[in-house]
Amino acid sequence: MNRPDLIRFCLSPLIGLAAAPAIAQPPAVVPTLPPSAPPVIAPPAVVTPPVPIPPLSAAQQAWLNNWLKGGAEQGLMARSKATASLSGDALVSAVLDRAKALSTGRVDTADFLDIWALRPATFDPRPGLARAIVEDRLPQWASGLTPPYSGYDGLRRGLAAYERIRDAGGWPVLNAKSAPDAVRKRLAIEDKSVQPGEALTDVLQRAQRRYGLNPTGLLDARTLKELNVPVEDRIAAIMANMERWRWMPRQLPVNRVQVNIAAAVLTVFEGDQPVTSMRAVTGSPDNATPMLTSSIHSIVVNPPWNVPSSIAKKELWPKGRAALLRQGYKIVGTPENGERIVQPAGPSSALGRLKFDFNNPFAVYLHDTPARAKFSSYDRLASHGCIRLEKPVPLAELMVQSDPKLAGKVQSLIDTGKTQRVQLPKEVAVYLLYWTAFASGNGTMNFRSDPYGWDKLLARKIEASSRRLDPTAAPAPTIASKD
**Residue 326: pLDDT band with limits 50, 70, 90:** confident
Q: Are residues 421 and 481 in the same domain?
A: no
Q: Are residues 411 and 400 in the same domain?
A: yes
Give the 3-state secondary structure of residue 316.
helix
| CATH number of the domain enclosing 390 | 2.40.440.10
Task: Give the residue from 344, 368, 397 where a domain finishes.
Answer: 344
115-126 residue pLDDT tens: 999 999 999 999
Q: Are residues 267 and 363 in the same domain?
A: yes
Q: What is the reported pLDDT for 482?
A: 44
**Total number of domains constituting the chain:** 3
Q: Are residues 137 and 64 in the same domain?
A: yes
Q: What is the reported pLDDT for 332?
A: 87
Q: What is the reported pLDDT for 475?
A: 54
413-465 residue pLDDT tens: 999 999 999 999 999 999 999 999 999 988 899 999 999 999 999 999 998 88
Task: Give the residue from 433, 451, 472 where a domain finishes.
Answer: 433
Q: For residue 477, is it within any domain?
A: yes
Cα–Cα separations (whole angstroms), residue 85 to 99, 125, 476: 17, 21, 19
Q: For residue 331, is it within any domain?
A: yes
> How many Cα atoms sit within 13 Å of 311 on the Cβ side?
18
Judge whether residue 7 has pLDDT over 60.
Answer: no
Q: Are residues 143 and 232 in the same domain?
A: yes
246-285 residue pLDDT tens: 999 999 999 999 999 999 999 999 988 899 999 999 999 9
Q: For residue 132, is it within any domain?
A: yes
Q: Are residues 101 and 147 in the same domain?
A: yes
Residues 462 and 239: beta-carbon distance below 8 Å:
yes
Residues 449 and 276: beta-carbon distance below 8 Å:
no
- Cα angle, residue 444 at apex, residues 441 and 449 outer, rounded to 5°: 110
Q: For residue 287, is it within any domain?
A: yes
172-230 residue pLDDT tens: 999 999 999 999 999 999 999 999 889 999 999 999 999 999 999 999 999 999 999 99
Q: Are residues 450 and 423 in the same domain?
A: no
- The residues that bridge with 447 in the sheet, in sequence order, are 437
> How many Cα atoms sit within 13 Å of 404 on the Cβ side?
0
Q: Are residues 103 and 238 in the same domain?
A: yes
Q: For residue 456, is it within any domain?
A: yes
Q: What is the reported pLDDT for 251?
A: 92
Q: Are residues 96 and 120 in the same domain?
A: yes
121-176 residue pLDDT tens: 999 999 999 999 999 999 999 999 999 999 999 999 999 999 999 999 999 999 99
Q: How far apart are CA 443 and CA 441, in angstroms?
A: 5
Q: For residue 54, is it within any domain?
A: yes
Task: Give the residue from 323, 344, 365 where a domain finishes.
Answer: 344
Q: Are residues 247 and 396 in the same domain?
A: no
Residues 454 and 437: beta-carbon distance below 8 Å:
no
Q: How far apart are CA 350 and CA 229, in angstroms?
A: 36
Q: For residue 257, is it within any domain?
A: no
Q: Are residues 57 and 161 in the same domain?
A: yes
Q: Which sign does the torsion angle of CA 30, 32, 33, 38 carry?
A: positive
Q: For residue 122, is it within any domain?
A: yes
Q: Which domain holds residue 295?
A: 263-304+350-433
Which residues in 314-331 are b (16+ Cβ under 10 Å) and which e?
Answer: eebbeeeeeebeeeebeb
Q: Are residues 420 and 271 in the same domain?
A: yes
Q: How far apart are CA 46 and CA 161, in angstroms?
A: 50
